[in-house]
Amino acid sequence: MQKIKKDQFSNRSILSIDQFTPDSFNRVFNEASALINEHERGVIHHELNGKIVTLLFYEPSSRTFSSFSSAAKRMGAQTVEYQNPTTTSSYVKGETMEDTIRVFANYSDCIVMRHFTTGIVKKLSRMIDIPMINAGDGSGEHPTQALLDMFTLHRRFGRLHNLKGLIAGDLLYGRTVHSLIKGLGKYQGNTLYLLAPERLKLPPYVEKEIKKMKIKIEYIKDEKSIPKDCNFWYWTRVQKERFSDPEEYEKLKKSFVITPSLLKQKGNANMVIMHPLPRIGEIDIKIDKDPRALYLSTQVKNGMYVRMALLKLVLG
């Protein structure tokens, strides 16, 4: 996939973390940091006045949808918003995705799309001449989640190299994990420990891609093997919607849980705890008050600023 150079965001679709380089990550992160400072000073943005950002979400979403919606509005754009088009749009009458996207391109300056089919955003983006942003495609990728996760790590540790992290949960279907591992794989000296049930290990195609990268990956079998010196724990839910057998999901859903006792035994004072959310029980709510837990606060806020930055760069 063609890389985006740091000064080439204008009118580019954001489809995969593969498009980014350390320089283009920095461009987004510098812009997002500036927006945080400006927000704290009460600056109101007008850069995207007159622009229409369309949100087409074929899968449920709380964060990504509302984060993009507020990001667009905070930059001065207006939004056309569709959640559940499978029941509320002409999809119900049998309209193809190809026709829908070509129609919406007439109304919009940018389309942000979430869909249950891996690869569909990339495919549809080739049919229109406005940029598209992948807001999660099936079990494929979630590039803007990886951007906000990496921005969160960068703000906390001041770097994205020489980090040690634990990634736990559903590595097979978890698109945020695929994008995050590939993103961190672009920097020197990172080590990731992966903790997942055998059935939910990384898909072979992702393993193949990361083998070519700079990152060191090590599977661990159980919580006992978690090294104590991780910079971050990134926990994920088991993705119920990808299972055809509900019983199998029930067996796997609580495979690994962060509890106060696990954090005491295997955590350290300087680490952070992250989760893309939603969580469905894999982080004990007692952890929420811990200052190391970023998933309900810093991580979510950073998501809005990163999306403001991205929309500004793509549409500005």
Residues that bind ligand CP (CB under 6 A): 61-65, 136, 142, 145, 276-278
Structure tokens at 123: 């495919």
Structure tokens at 182: 């590939």
| Selected catalytic residue, list 142, 154, 182, 186 | 142
Strand positions, DSSP E, the chain: 52-57, 78-83, 110-115, 132-137, 164-168, 191-195, 216-220, 232-235, 272-274
CB of 303 to ligand CP, least distance (A): 8
Determine whether 279 is an active site residue: no
| CB nearer to ligand CP: pick between 16 and 266 | 16
Burial of 198 per CB tally in 10 Å (0-12, 13-18, 19+): exposed
| Selected catalytic residue, list 64, 100, 144, 236 | 64
Determine whether 63 is an active site residue: yes
| CB nearer to ligand CP: pick between 132 and 226 | 132
CB of 247 to ligand CP, least distance (A): 24
Rounded to an integer, what distance in angstroms lies between the CA atom of residue 128 and that of residue 106? Answer: 9
Rounded to an integer, what distance in angstroms lies between the CA atom of residue 254 and that of residue 275? Answer: 15
**What are φ and ψ of residue 111, in 5° steps?**
-120, 125
| Selected catalytic residue, list 93, 212, 224, 264 | 93
CB of 186 to ligand CP, least distance (A): 21
| CB nearer to ligand CP: pick between 63 and 240 | 63
**What are φ and ψ of residue 228, in 5° steps?**
-80, -10
Determine whether 64 is an active site residue: yes
Q: Identify the helix (H) or strand (E) that includes residue 185.
A: none
CB of 268 to ligand CP, least distance (A): 26
| Selected catalytic residue, list 6, 39, 45, 63 | 63
Catalytic residues: 63-64, 93, 114, 142
